[in-house]
Amino acid sequence: MGRIFRRTPRQLVLPGVRVPRKGRRERAAMADLGPIARARMHLVTAPVTRRRFLAGTLGWVSAAIAAALGIPAGAAVVSPLFRKDEEGWSPVARLGKPDPGDPDLRVENEPILTHVTSLVEDAYLKASPRDAAIYVVNRGGEQFTVFDVRCTHLGCPVTWKEGDGEFFSPCHGGVFDAEGRVLEGPPPRPLDRYEYKVEGGVLYVGKLYQVNDELQRVTF
Protein backbone atom coordinates (compact mmCIF):
# COMPACT_ATOMS: atom_id res chain seq x y z
CA MET A 1 0.00 0.00 0.00
CA GLY A 2 2.56 2.51 1.13
CA ARG A 3 4.56 2.37 -2.06
CA ILE A 4 1.57 3.03 -4.28
CA PHE A 5 -0.36 5.61 -2.25
CA ARG A 6 2.28 8.13 -1.38
CA ARG A 7 -0.05 10.90 -0.39
CA THR A 8 -3.16 10.74 1.69
CA PRO A 9 -6.10 11.73 -0.55
CA ARG A 10 -7.01 15.36 -0.36
CA GLN A 11 -10.55 16.46 0.43
CA LEU A 12 -12.67 16.32 -2.75
CA VAL A 13 -15.24 19.07 -2.98
CA LEU A 14 -18.60 18.19 -4.51
CA PRO A 15 -19.52 20.67 -7.26
CA GLY A 16 -21.41 23.54 -5.72
CA VAL A 17 -20.69 22.62 -2.12
CA ARG A 18 -18.41 25.23 -0.61
CA VAL A 19 -16.52 23.87 2.32
CA PRO A 20 -16.42 26.69 4.85
CA ARG A 21 -12.75 27.25 5.41
CA LYS A 22 -12.69 31.02 4.96
CA GLY A 23 -13.20 33.30 7.88
CA ARG A 24 -16.63 34.61 8.80
CA ARG A 25 -15.77 38.14 7.69
CA GLU A 26 -14.77 37.00 4.20
CA ARG A 27 -17.93 34.95 3.81
CA ALA A 28 -20.03 37.89 4.89
CA ALA A 29 -18.33 40.03 2.24
CA MET A 30 -19.06 37.40 -0.45
CA ALA A 31 -22.75 37.27 0.48
CA ASP A 32 -23.29 40.86 -0.72
CA LEU A 33 -21.96 40.16 -4.20
CA GLY A 34 -24.01 39.09 -7.22
CA PRO A 35 -23.66 35.59 -8.68
CA ILE A 36 -21.17 36.55 -11.40
CA ALA A 37 -19.00 38.59 -9.04
CA ARG A 38 -19.14 35.73 -6.59
CA ALA A 39 -18.02 33.23 -9.25
CA ARG A 40 -15.18 35.55 -10.24
CA MET A 41 -14.17 35.93 -6.62
CA HIS A 42 -14.22 32.16 -6.27
CA LEU A 43 -11.95 31.77 -9.29
CA VAL A 44 -9.54 34.31 -7.87
CA THR A 45 -9.44 32.83 -4.39
CA ALA A 46 -9.41 29.19 -5.61
CA PRO A 47 -7.16 29.15 -8.71
CA VAL A 48 -7.55 26.45 -11.36
CA THR A 49 -5.31 23.63 -10.31
CA ARG A 50 -4.65 20.65 -12.56
CA ARG A 51 -6.99 18.67 -10.35
CA ARG A 52 -9.81 21.18 -10.78
CA PHE A 53 -9.23 21.41 -14.52
CA LEU A 54 -9.40 17.62 -14.93
CA ALA A 55 -12.48 17.38 -12.71
CA GLY A 56 -14.19 20.07 -14.79
CA THR A 57 -13.22 18.41 -18.09
CA LEU A 58 -14.49 15.09 -16.84
CA GLY A 59 -17.76 16.74 -15.82
CA TRP A 60 -18.32 18.42 -19.17
CA VAL A 61 -17.39 15.34 -21.20
CA SER A 62 -19.77 13.29 -19.06
CA ALA A 63 -22.49 15.85 -19.64
CA ALA A 64 -21.89 15.70 -23.42
CA ILE A 65 -22.14 11.90 -23.43
CA ALA A 66 -25.29 12.06 -21.33
CA ALA A 67 -26.80 14.54 -23.80
CA ALA A 68 -25.80 12.45 -26.83
CA LEU A 69 -27.56 9.49 -25.28
CA GLY A 70 -30.36 11.32 -23.49
CA ILE A 71 -31.63 13.64 -26.22
CA PRO A 72 -32.47 10.92 -28.81
CA ALA A 73 -33.84 8.69 -26.07
CA GLY A 74 -36.00 11.42 -24.57
CA ALA A 75 -37.20 12.64 -27.95
CA ALA A 76 -38.24 9.13 -29.00
CA VAL A 77 -40.30 8.62 -25.86
CA VAL A 78 -41.87 12.08 -25.98
CA SER A 79 -42.65 11.97 -29.73
CA PRO A 80 -46.10 10.26 -29.44
CA LEU A 81 -47.29 13.53 -27.86
CA PHE A 82 -47.34 14.97 -31.38
CA ARG A 83 -48.95 11.97 -33.04
CA LYS A 84 -52.05 12.45 -35.18
CA ASP A 85 -54.33 9.56 -35.98
CA GLU A 86 -55.30 9.24 -39.62
CA GLU A 87 -59.03 9.89 -39.79
CA GLY A 88 -61.03 8.91 -42.83
CA TRP A 89 -64.70 8.62 -43.68
CA SER A 90 -66.65 5.73 -42.18
CA PRO A 91 -70.02 4.58 -43.55
CA VAL A 92 -73.03 4.71 -41.20
CA ALA A 93 -75.94 3.38 -43.30
CA ARG A 94 -77.89 3.82 -46.54
CA LEU A 95 -80.33 6.71 -46.62
CA GLY A 96 -83.24 4.68 -48.02
CA LYS A 97 -84.48 1.33 -46.87
CA PRO A 98 -81.74 0.09 -44.49
CA ASP A 99 -79.74 -3.10 -44.93
CA PRO A 100 -80.37 -5.69 -42.21
CA GLY A 101 -78.73 -4.61 -38.98
CA ASP A 102 -78.35 -0.97 -40.08
CA PRO A 103 -80.27 1.94 -38.53
CA ASP A 104 -83.27 3.36 -40.39
CA LEU A 105 -82.18 6.88 -41.36
CA ARG A 106 -85.60 7.71 -42.89
CA VAL A 107 -86.89 8.68 -39.41
CA GLU A 108 -86.69 12.48 -39.23
CA ASN A 109 -85.89 14.78 -36.28
CA GLU A 110 -85.41 11.90 -33.90
CA PRO A 111 -81.91 10.93 -32.62
CA ILE A 112 -81.07 7.38 -33.63
CA LEU A 113 -78.40 5.56 -31.64
CA THR A 114 -75.97 3.63 -33.83
CA HIS A 115 -72.25 3.13 -34.20
CA VAL A 116 -69.53 3.32 -36.82
CA THR A 117 -66.51 1.09 -37.13
CA SER A 118 -63.47 2.36 -38.94
CA LEU A 119 -60.05 0.91 -39.52
CA VAL A 120 -57.40 3.41 -38.43
CA GLU A 121 -53.63 3.21 -38.50
CA ASP A 122 -52.64 3.10 -34.84
CA ALA A 123 -48.84 3.20 -34.39
CA TYR A 124 -47.55 -0.24 -35.45
CA LEU A 125 -51.08 -1.57 -36.12
CA LYS A 126 -51.78 -1.02 -39.79
CA ALA A 127 -55.57 -1.36 -39.51
CA SER A 128 -56.94 -1.17 -36.00
CA PRO A 129 -60.74 -1.22 -35.67
CA ARG A 130 -62.19 1.79 -33.87
CA ASP A 131 -65.78 1.66 -32.76
CA ALA A 132 -67.65 4.87 -31.97
CA ALA A 133 -71.24 5.21 -30.78
CA ILE A 134 -73.15 8.13 -32.33
CA TYR A 135 -76.60 9.71 -32.37
CA VAL A 136 -77.75 10.54 -35.92
CA VAL A 137 -80.54 13.09 -36.41
CA ASN A 138 -82.06 13.37 -39.88
CA ARG A 139 -83.05 17.04 -40.36
CA GLY A 140 -84.61 16.36 -43.78
CA GLY A 141 -83.23 17.23 -47.23
CA GLU A 142 -80.03 15.23 -46.69
CA GLN A 143 -79.15 17.46 -43.72
CA PHE A 144 -77.98 15.63 -40.62
CA THR A 145 -76.58 16.25 -37.16
CA VAL A 146 -74.25 13.55 -35.89
CA PHE A 147 -73.61 13.71 -32.15
CA ASP A 148 -70.84 11.97 -30.31
CA VAL A 149 -72.46 9.85 -27.62
CA ARG A 150 -69.94 10.90 -24.95
CA CYS A 151 -70.94 13.59 -22.45
CA THR A 152 -68.59 16.59 -22.63
CA HIS A 153 -68.06 16.52 -18.86
CA LEU A 154 -66.16 13.26 -18.30
CA GLY A 155 -67.15 11.11 -21.24
CA CYS A 156 -70.06 9.01 -19.96
CA PRO A 157 -72.45 7.90 -22.75
CA VAL A 158 -75.61 9.99 -22.93
CA THR A 159 -79.05 8.53 -23.62
CA TRP A 160 -81.90 10.15 -25.51
CA LYS A 161 -85.03 10.58 -23.33
CA GLU A 162 -87.79 10.57 -25.90
CA GLY A 163 -90.50 11.86 -23.52
CA ASP A 164 -88.45 14.88 -22.38
CA GLY A 165 -86.72 15.47 -25.70
CA GLU A 166 -83.36 15.60 -23.93
CA PHE A 167 -80.03 13.81 -23.82
CA PHE A 168 -79.23 12.68 -20.31
CA SER A 169 -75.89 11.63 -18.82
CA PRO A 170 -76.38 9.35 -15.80
CA CYS A 171 -72.98 9.96 -14.21
CA HIS A 172 -73.33 13.52 -12.89
CA GLY A 173 -76.73 14.50 -14.20
CA GLY A 174 -75.70 16.42 -17.32
CA VAL A 175 -78.70 17.29 -19.53
CA PHE A 176 -78.56 18.44 -23.20
CA ASP A 177 -81.36 19.56 -25.49
CA ALA A 178 -82.12 18.06 -28.91
CA GLU A 179 -79.46 20.36 -30.47
CA GLY A 180 -76.89 19.23 -27.92
CA ARG A 181 -76.93 22.50 -25.89
CA VAL A 182 -76.26 22.17 -22.16
CA LEU A 183 -79.45 22.54 -20.10
CA GLU A 184 -78.31 21.36 -16.70
CA GLY A 185 -75.39 19.89 -14.83
CA PRO A 186 -71.60 20.13 -15.09
CA PRO A 187 -70.90 19.72 -18.84
CA PRO A 188 -68.69 22.61 -20.04
CA ARG A 189 -69.88 22.69 -23.66
CA PRO A 190 -72.55 21.25 -25.98
CA LEU A 191 -72.28 17.69 -27.25
CA ASP A 192 -69.44 17.15 -29.74
CA ARG A 193 -70.35 16.46 -33.36
CA TYR A 194 -68.99 14.58 -36.34
CA GLU A 195 -68.46 15.87 -39.85
CA TYR A 196 -70.66 14.00 -42.29
CA LYS A 197 -71.19 13.61 -46.02
CA VAL A 198 -73.67 11.82 -48.25
CA GLU A 199 -72.16 9.95 -51.15
CA GLY A 200 -73.90 7.42 -53.39
CA GLY A 201 -76.92 7.37 -51.09
CA VAL A 202 -74.79 6.44 -48.08
CA LEU A 203 -74.16 8.58 -44.98
CA TYR A 204 -70.50 8.80 -43.92
CA VAL A 205 -69.03 10.37 -40.78
CA GLY A 206 -65.57 11.90 -40.57
CA LYS A 207 -63.78 14.05 -38.04
CA LEU A 208 -65.04 14.79 -34.53
CA TYR A 209 -65.30 18.48 -33.62
CA GLN A 210 -66.45 20.73 -30.78
CA VAL A 211 -69.03 23.51 -30.89
CA ASN A 212 -69.56 26.55 -28.66
CA ASP A 213 -72.80 27.57 -26.94
CA GLU A 214 -74.00 29.17 -30.22
CA LEU A 215 -73.39 25.79 -31.91
CA GLN A 216 -70.59 27.24 -34.05
CA ARG A 217 -67.72 24.94 -34.80
CA VAL A 218 -64.63 25.77 -32.72
CA THR A 219 -62.15 22.93 -33.36
CA PHE A 220 -60.82 21.81 -36.71
**Binding-site member from 49, 124, 199, 201 for other proteins (CB under 8 A):** 124
- What is the C-alpha to C-alpha distance for residues 45 and 57, in angstroms, rounded to an integer? 20
- Residue with Cβ nearer other proteins (44 or 81): 81
153 contacts 185 by C-beta, under 8 angstroms: yes
Residues in contact with other proteins, counted by CB under 8 A, come to a total of 27
Residue 218 engages other proteins in binding (rule: CB under 8 A): no
**Binding-site member from 76, 131, 199, 213 for other proteins (CB under 8 A):** 76
- What is the C-alpha to C-alpha distance for residues 134 and 36, in angstroms, rounded to an integer? 63
- What is the C-alpha to C-alpha distance for residues 196 and 90, in angstroms, rounded to an integer? 9
- Residue with Cβ nearer other proteins (34 or 163): 34
Q: How many helices (H) and strands (E) does the chain have?
A: 3, 10
- Residue with Cβ nearer other proteins (35 or 201): 35
> What is the per-residue binding string for other proteins in 25-64, x denoting contact by CB under 8 A?
----------x-----------------------------
41 contacts 34 by C-beta, under 8 angstroms: no
- What is the C-alpha to C-alpha distance for residues 207 and 86, in angstroms, rounded to an integer? 10
**Binding-site member from 28, 54, 125, 183 for other proteins (CB under 8 A):** 125
Which amino acid appears at position 62 of this protein?
S
Query: At closest approach, how far in Å is the CB of 103 from other proteins?
Result: 33
- What is the C-alpha to C-alpha distance for residues 57 and 44, in angstroms, rounded to an integer? 19
Which residues lie near other proteins (CB under 8 A)?
4-5, 7, 9-14, 16-19, 35, 69-73, 75-77, 79, 123-126
